[in-house]
Amino acid sequence: MAFSHSMAVSLSAVLEDTVNQLGILGKIMPVSLQAHPEANKFVQTNITSMISSQLEAERTMEAALSARTEGKDSGLIQEFIGNLTTSNRLVDQSMRQNPLTKDNLQKIQEDRQFCEDVLAEVYKEMQAKHSFQSLLKAVKMEKDRKLGLQRTIIKEEQGRRKIKQLQRQLQDIKKEKELEIQQRNEMIAHLKDQLQEMKAKSNMEGKYVKKNAENQVHQNQQHCQIQEQTYKDELEELKRKVDEEVRTHVGIEEYLKKHQTMLEEKVEHWMDKYDKDVDAKQQELSTLKSSKANDLERLQELTRKY
């Protein structure tokens, strides 16, 4: 939509004045004045002046556009004027509460810079093309941005509800775990009691076993001592018997040696006698054989003779 040259000039004047006022508004609180004791008074004075000028610009723009309320884009223009008025009211309210708050200053600077950039672009387009398509585009982009913010807020709300639900679930799980921990602690206490009882019982049994073992060891020692003494006595008796046997053996050995010597002498005597008797008998046998041969020969002679 294009305006006439005179209407475009009027609107350009309003837009130029608004852009200039916004530029001045961005410089009313330099860094050098942030710590100045008169900063509040200085800012209040400049803000009041800027708000008055802005309201005057709104009235001028409404008067310039009053003749075009029947046009195609009159609704968008009226919406822009309403948004600008609302923005001024919010700025006025915020600045009157505490204009030097860091969050307020940052928000105001962002809004001011946005308005200044949009209106500067509209001013250039109004001078060049006598139209305000950039304003419509900026309004649409701002609506899309707000819609995106609303979606983000909705997602954030959903996330918060989800977080609350998870927190409730976490509380339930925490209660269950606390109950489980309490039950386990009770079980641990019960097991500790049983452990103490078992330790006491084990100590008593250990003492009994130790005492019993000591008694058995003492009895075994006594038994071993008695057995050892018995074995010693038996060993002494065996030694005595061995000594006696040795003496007896020595006596018998000496007797047998003497008897063996005597028997050897007798054997030698009998062997000599045997040899002599054998020789004598051999001579007698030889004599008998000679006599027999002589007798046999004589017998034969007598036999032949008779």
CB contact at 8 A, 88 and 58: yes
Check residue 4 and give its pLDDT: 62
* Distance in angstroms (rounded) separating the CA atoms of residues 285 and 42: 189
Task: Note whether residue 75 is domain-resident.
Answer: yes
Task: Note whether residue 214 is domain-resident.
Answer: no
Task: Note whether residue 96 is domain-resident.
Answer: yes
DSSP code string of 223-261: HHHHHHHHHHHHHHHHHHHHHHHHHHHHHHHHHHHHHHH
Find where tokens 């030698």 sit: 268
Check residue 124 and give its pLDDT: 76
* Distance in angstroms (rounded) separating the CA atoms of residues 217 and 234: 25
Count of domains forming the chain: 1
* Distance in angstroms (rounded) separating the CA atoms of residues 197 and 193: 6
Token code pair at residue 117: 């950039």
Token code pair at residue 200: 């006491």
Q: How many CB atoms lie within 10 A of CB 18?
A: 23
* Distance in angstroms (rounded) separating the CA atoms of residues 132 and 122: 6
Query: Which domain does 111 fall in, by range?
Result: 5-131
Cα-based distances in Å from 89 to 55, 83, 102: 10, 10, 19
Task: Note whether residue 230 is domain-resident.
Answer: no
Task: Note whether residue 306 is domain-resident.
Answer: no
* Distance in angstroms (rounded) separating the CA atoms of residues 197 and 203: 10
State which H helix or E strand residue 278 sits in.
helix 133-305
CB contact at 8 A, 80 and 143: no
CATH of the domain at 93: 1.20.120
pLDDT by residue, tens only, the chain of 306 residues:
556 666 666 666 776 677 677 666 666 654 444 444 555 555 555 555 555 655 555 565 555 555 454 454 455 455 555 555 555 555 555 445 444 555 556 767 777 777 777 777 777 776 777 666 777 777 788 788 888 888 898 999 998 999 999 999 999 999 999 999 999 999 999 999 999 999 999 899 989 999 999 999 999 999 999 999 999 999 999 999 999 999 999 989 899 999 889 999 988 899 988 888 888 888 988 888 888 888 888 888 888 876
Check residue 248 and give its pLDDT: 92
Q: Is the pTM of this model over 0.85?
A: no
Task: Note whether residue 225 is domain-resident.
Answer: no
Residue 292 exposed, middle or buried by CB count within 10 Å (0-12, 13-18, 19+): exposed
Residue 273 exposed, middle or buried by CB count within 10 Å (0-12, 13-18, 19+): exposed
Task: Note whether residue 55 is domain-resident.
Answer: yes
Q: Which residues contact 289 (CB under 8 A, 6 or more apart)?
A: none
Check residue 7 and give its pLDDT: 64
Task: Note whether residue 189 is domain-resident.
Answer: no
